């Protein structure tokens, strides 16, 4: 992973922490804050149902990396809050 790929993930992680708070369990984070109706994120509920937290986190991280506009959205979100 190069530094350009790490920036959106780092911003998404910071935004997620701000949204969810540090004490939110992973399952609650995905249930409350991630739109799993999106085809790219739809595997997350099944993975969490099997207890595969690492797999669900990988799906989410891959989605964030693939959607570079997330960086812009995160920066705008952070300045509003």
Whether residue 44 is predicted with pLDDT greater than 80 in this model: the reply is yes
Question: In this structure, what token pair is assigned to residue 60?
Answer: 């989410």
Residue boundaries of the structural domains of the chain: 3-80
**Percent with pLDDT over 90 in the chain:** 26
Q: What is the mean pLDDT of residues 22-41?
A: 84
**Which residues, other chains included, contact 3 with Cβ-Cβ below 8 Å and sequence gap of 6+?**
none
**Percent with pLDDT over 70 in the chain:** 54
Q: What is the mean pLDDT of residues 42-56?
A: 92
25/53 Cα distance (integer angstroms):
11
Q: What is the mean pLDDT of residues 73-81?
A: 65
Mean of per-residue pLDDT scores for the chain: 75
């Amino acid at each position: 992973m190069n530094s350009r790929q790490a920036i959106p993930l780092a911003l998404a992680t910071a935004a997620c922490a701000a949204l969810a708070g540090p004490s939110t369990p992973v399952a609650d984070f995905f249930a409350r804050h991630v739109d799993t109706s999106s085809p790219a994120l739809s595997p997350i509920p099944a993975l969490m149902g099997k207890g595969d937290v690492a797999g669900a986190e990988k799906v989410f991280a891959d989605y964030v990396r693939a959607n570079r506009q997330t960086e812009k959205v995160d920066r705008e979100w952070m300045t509003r809050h």
